[in-house]
Structure formats: structure tokens, C-alpha cells
Amino acid sequence: MISFAFVTKDKGYLISQTTINQDIMRIKESKNEVDNINNILVNVSGKNSDIRYVRSLLNCKNDQYRVFYGNEVNISMLSNIARSRIYNELRKEPVKDINILMLSVNNNNSNTVYNDNSNTVYNDNSNINNNFNLIHIDNYSAINKSNFIATNYGMYFLYGIADTYYTYDMNHDQAVDLINRCIKALKEKMVLDASKWRMDVLDKNNEQEIQYIE
């Protein structure tokens, strides 16, 4: 399953396939592969069994924090939970085949995501003081913050398109045009079906809009 996401000055966009594949096998069609955990949009892609495991873990941890501490997790805590679990299982066989995207409003209006005295080290490639946090965690537990992120096979094709058409100041129509260009490229390049997508749009007021693209 391929997913990609990017942020602009006004909105954050998370686009994910609704067709779940494993190798050359089509597992299922699902329009519910994005979780909203305390206003944090989370998409986990990769091996189907690993996806279920990580999604369940993150939702359960949020419930535990709410019950025991009276509050819910923020994006810093949630990404640390995911990173720590992946890191602790690196020496096990097999390594979890997952990529995680997290998107949230940056309520601190800061370029620093981890402001809760955590010791997490991450790479900040956004180079901009933006209104949103967009984080990628790979299957080796590396955390990366950027303004445009693609996962799985999307990494081979979409960054070149983003270099040409993405700008942080783009409006919604330009963002939709970028999304259409990315999906068109994947349809042309991929042998497996890449025709069905879900688009989650998050604005600065934490309002989430969902559309389906076929």
C-alpha cells in the first residue's frame, strides 16, 4: 500500500491507497486505513498483519493515557511509542514491514515537533516554520519530519514530481493538481492496481475532510 502526504501553509494532505496489497496479492479493499487519534491522522502501510498490530498498539496506548493520566497523547508521544516499539523489535525475525505517516496541526507554531523533553532524535527536512507536523517513521525506527513524504514504491516516483510542482505556499486547487499528478504517475508506473485512493485534508482548526478518488 502506497501513501504520501504534504503540508501547505493552510492545510495538510494525507493520501493513501484503499487497495491493500501484499507482494503481488490483493488482500482487501478498505476505506478505513487512516486513524484519527486525538486529532492526529495516522496511516500505517506495509505488510497487512504488521499494519493491524501497529494500529492496534497506537490506539490502545492512547486509550491507556486517557484512562490513567486523564489526557490523550500528542504527536510527539505517539511517534515515540511507534519508534520505540519498532526499534525494540529490530533484532527479531522478521523485521516489521511498515511505514507510518502522522499528520497533525502544529499548535506551538514551531519547527520543533518534540517539545516534551523527550530524547528522540529526528531529521527535520522541512526548513520552514509551518503550521503542521508531518512525520514519517520507517521500518528501522528512523523518524523524519518534512513537508512532503512518500512511502513504499511511491518514493521512486513522487519526489521528482514534488520537486517540480510542490510549494509550501500553494493553494488548495494547486494541491489537488499535485495529488492528481502523483496518482497519474503511479497508475502509469505500477503494474498493481493504483486506481483507488483516500484523501484526508486537515485544516488549521483540526477539521478533517475525507474524499475518495477512483
How much is the pLDDT for 32? 82
pTM: 0.86
What domains sit in the chain, N to C, each tagged with a CATH number? 3-213 (3.60.20.10)
Q: Which residue is listed with cell 520552514? A: 128
Q: At 181, give phi and psi (nearest 5°).
A: -65, -40
- Alpha-carbon distance 3 to 18, whole Å? 10
Show the low-confidence residues of the chain (pLDDT under 50).
Answer: 110-119, 121
pLDDT digits (tens, 9 = 90+) for 75-122: 999 999 999 988 888 877 677 778 999 999 998 754 444 434 444 545
- Tell me the H-state helices in the chain: 48-69, 75-88, 154-165, 172-189
